[in-house]
Amino acid sequence: MSLSSEEVEEEVLVECENCEVKVEEYHAHSLCEECYHEVYVTCCHCGDETYEEESYYSSNSSDYYCGDCYFEIYTTCYECEDEVERDTTYWHNEEPYCEGCVPDTSDCLVENIENAIPPSMSRDAETFDKLNVKRLVGLEAECMYPYTDSIHTPSNWATTYDGSISTGGDYEGIELVSTPSSGDLLYSQVFDLVDWAKSYDAVVNSSCGLHVHFDSTNLNARQVAHIGIVYSRYQHLLKDMMPPSRQGSRWCKDFSMNVDTLRNIDTEEELIEEYYESMNSRPSTEKYNDARYCGLNLHSRYFHGSLEFRLHSGTLNKTKIVNWIRILNAIIEKGIEIEKDSSLVDEFLKYGDLTSFVKTIGEELTSYHSKRVMKFAS
């Protein structure tokens, strides 16, 4: 039995659930076109339709967004409650601020230095026969291991997830973090790490790095600035001993503060201003400030109380780790030494870079440096 034309027309029409007029479905909804535009809006970012009453209107863009897109792009100033784009948001004590309301973070950053490493969480060595490093040092070793249900970390090490590690197949990425230690205790920690790596068949790839933290809680701003002078002078020599994966890596950008600026820094506030400006960033108390991704990371000073050196490639080789610690320690000690008198800075700067480098790190480490440079030059 065939349907009449009137019956066919009746079958394709629906009653608008809003105004009850008989209409064809619009956008697969039981709504007429007029009511549809009263009830739904289209997210300007992802293009999905969403109920207007569940959407978010941006005063910045004069557009509607779905909830997911809006909160991906915008947040609300903690002080004035105005809408702020996340890309231009200032963060302080984990709260978002607009540019006009952000508190002065300098005092907070300076205060963070003093109690950054609780004594109960560090180990000062009594002997320095195998590793003559008096300053507390913390290591972050990124690596991969074949996937297993559970792992046991070595003594005085902890593990954390690191999303920057690119893994494949059955490997799991991991970052091992050491308890800050000095001297022969630090030396033993390195060996414990290497033994652990062997027992779990752990390996590294080009996405892995070795980060070394030196306690800076007893250093003043001038001393840190002069350590920066030494590091900036040797930066190209240090990069020469690294594989291509660390050359120009976004995770360890060049330390770009110039010598004249560093020589003239007297206060912590000046150091803060100049460092963050050199990194095209803003001072904040947040851990993941972009200023942290530097070969010599001074943001770590205001978060952990340490100077973090991020240049080294990932490694589970004890000789590489220990020698890198020794080279960095020599750089720090040289910076502390030349800060005592401007004439010492002039003396330091008058030699060629390589001659100065040899005088700072000594013949044994110079030989090691040369072998590393030759490896990556070939």
Per-residue pLDDT band at 7 (split at 50, 70, 90): very low
Decide if 111 is inside a domain. Answer: no
Question: Per the domain annotation, does 263 fall within a domain?
Answer: yes
- Domain of 178 in residue numbering reads as 137-377
| Residue 309 φ/ψ, nearest 5 degrees | -110, 115
Beta carbons of 273 and 105 less than 8 angstroms apart: no
Number of domains in the chain: 1
> Does 174 reside within a domain?
yes
Q: Taking the model in full, what pTM does it have?
A: 0.75
152-161, 284-293, 360-369: segment of lowest average pLDDT? 284-293
Where helices occur in the chain by DSSP H, the ranges are 5-12, 33-39, 67-73, 106-114, 183-199, 221-240, 259-263, 268-278, 318-338, 342-350, 353-361, 363-377
Answer with the residue of higher pLDDT: 334 or 107: 334
Cα–Cα distance for residue pair 318/300, rounded to 1 Å: 25
Q: Could you report the per-residue pLDDT of 63-104, keeping only the tens digit for each?
A: 999 989 998 889 999 889 999 988 777 777 778 888 788 776
Q: Identify whether 102 is part of a domain.
A: no
Specify if 329 maps to a domain: yes
What distances in angstroms separate CA 313 from CA 27, 294, 377, one per listed residue? 54, 14, 16
Let me know if residue 76 belongs to a domain: no
289 residue type, one letter: N
Q: What is the average pLDDT value for the chain, to the nearest integer?
A: 87
Residue for token pair 């320690």:
329
pLDDT attached to residue 313: 95
For residue 14, being part of any structural domain is answered with no
Does 47 fall in a domain? Answer: no
Running DSSP on this structure, what letter comes out for residue 154?
P
